[in-house]
Structure 1
Amino acid sequence: MDLFDTHFHLPEEGDLENYLEQLYPEHSYRMMAMAASAAGSIRALEFARRHPNVWCSCGVHPHDAEDFDGNMEQFQALVSAPENRAVGEIGLDFFYDFAPREKQIACFEKFLRLALEKSKPICIHCRDKENSTDAYQICYSMLKDFASQAGEGKAVLHCYAGNQDYLEKFLDIGCYIGVTGMVTFPKSSNIRDNLRLIPRERLLFETDSPYLAPVPFRGKTNHPALTAHVVSYAAGFLGETAEKLASDTTANALRFFAIEA
């Protein structure tokens, strides 16, 4: 299969030089190393520079928004690197609220402006408390404004686990939707229901590794090679071949990140 893991995080420990060689004996992979901080953005860029078929993003995760000093000079340089194809992981997390919400929003706004200035797509983290849609409402409003300036097809809702109403809203403003190993979880029927509603041309697959290992690997460290398992599961659920689904969604990823095939 021709696969593209559109969202993974480098492991904090271990031999990064041999990381990829340990993972890919069978399939053809491309992947996007996501960042959550300035240090993580530098690390992702250095890794991408050493490995063909690996690209990277830069950004500050909402969990880290309180520690972000607002200085964008370093990110201006990082996002201009040819290996850097996106701004992210950015957004809002009202589930944990590790950072005050006003700081999350301010941080998010800065990186949206950076993406507009540099004409980069954005990778969005949006999570809400149970029985609340505050984060989704604010995120939707901000992305609607972003789309009005950047055009459609410049944002992906990473690991989307929200309701169908907001799924339709995000799709209506041109967002892509990222599907992770959560689609295999027995209790994640909402994600499987959402999968049926996502237009093929807006669907991306990701691992969010080292988190969210799919069934039957729950409890183990996730890694980009398990993209194949997520795609195969989704293909079975949708009643089609994994090879076709992989090919279609890899083409989507190449288009979204402006990478030549």
Structure 2
Amino acid sequence: MDLFDTHFHLPESGSLDDFPARLLPEHSYRMLALGASLSGSIRACEYASGQDNVWFACGVHPHDAENFDGDLEPFKNMLANPKNCAVGEIGLDFFYDFAPRRKQIKCFEQFLQLAAEYHKPVSVHCRDQADSIAAYEDCYAMLKNFMCKHDSKAVLHCYAGNGDFLEKFLELGCYIGVTGMVTFPKSDNIRQHLKNIPRDRLLFETDSPYLAPVPFRGKENHPALVATVVQYAANFLDLDPETLAAETTANALKFLDLEARA
């Protein structure tokens, strides 16, 4: 299959020499390494710069928003790198609230403005408490302003919100990222979302090293396992895996403005 993992994270430390060797030889892989902090973004940039089939995004995850000092210059330097094609992972997390919400919102806004300035799409994290939609309301309002004002693009990474907000984000023009969570026994909501996402707006992700799909759940995830996610989704949707892989890879190339470099 011709695969594109549109969201993975590198290990925070250690050698990456054997990282490409874990890709399955029967498939073709392209992938996007996401930063969640300044150091993680630099590591993603350095790794992507040495790999023909890897690009990177840079940003500050909402978990790290309290530690962000507001200095965007290092990120601006990375956005000028030819291997950069997005801003992320950015967004709001009102589930864990590791950073005060006002700081999360300020950090998210800063990176949305940066993405607009550099004409980059964004990869967005949005999560809330089970009995609340505050994060989704704020995220939707901020993305609506960003996308409509700047004619920009966004993907809701690992979307697990409700169906009403899925429809609202799709109406904005957002892409939706589906991870190995779709294979989990209790993820009926995500499987329902999979049915409702237009095929031209669907992206597949691993979010590795997290969220390994069944039957690898509980083990360290890797971009190689995007193949398992695509195969599961194709079976669930009664589609040919090769066709679904090709379609969603084309979506990724379009979303990331990589069509000319495909």
TM range (shorter): over 0.9
Aligned ranges 1:119-130 → 2 under 5 Å = 119-130=119-130
What's 2:41 paired with?
Answer: 41
> How many positions carry a matched residue from both structures?
260
Aligned ranges 1:97-116 → 2 under 5 Å = 97-116=97-116
Secondary structure, aligned partner of 1:43: helix
Give the C-alpha shift of residue 151 in structure 1. 1.8
Aligned partner letter, 1:89:
E
What's 2:134 paired with?
Answer: 134
Give the C-alpha shift of residue 131 in structure 1. 1.3
Q: Deviations over 1:144-176 (max 9, x none)?
A: 001112226x10000000000000000000000
Q: Deviations over 1:108-137 (max 9, x none)?
A: 000000000000000000000111100000
What's 1:215 paired with?
Answer: 214
Give the C-alpha shift of residue 21 in structure 1. 1.7
Q: TM-score w.r.t. structure 1 length?
A: 0.98
What's 2:86 paired with?
Answer: 86
Give the C-alpha shift of residue 24 in structure 1. 2.9
What's 1:179 paired with?
Answer: 178
What's 1:159 paired with?
Answer: 158
Whether contact under 8 Å (2:22, 2:224) holds in the other structure is: no
What's 1:198 paired with?
Answer: 197
Q: Could you list the structure 1 runs, at least 4 aligned residues long, displaced by more than 4 angstroms after superposition.
A: none
Q: TM-score w.r.t. structure 2 length?
A: 0.98
Aligned ranges 1:26-37 → 2 under 5 Å = 26-37=26-37
Secondary structure, aligned partner of 2:21: coil
- When the two chains are superposed, the root-mean-square deviation of aligned CA atoms in Å is 0.8
The percent identity for this pair of structures is: 67
Whether contact under 8 Å (1:116, 1:149) holds in the other structure is: no
Whether contact under 8 Å (1:2, 1:29) holds in the other structure is: yes
Secondary structure, aligned partner of 2:89: strand
Runs of 5+ consecutive residues of structure 2 not aligned to the other structure: none
Give the C-alpha shift of residue 80 in structure 1. 1.2
What's 1:232 paired with?
Answer: 231
C-alpha distance in 1, partners of 2:104/2:91? 7
C-alpha distance in 1, partners of 2:28/2:212? 20
C-alpha distance in 1, partners of 2:191/2:34? 24
Runs of 5+ consecutive residues of structure 1 not aligned to the other structure: none
Whether contact under 8 Å (1:231, 1:245) holds in the other structure is: yes
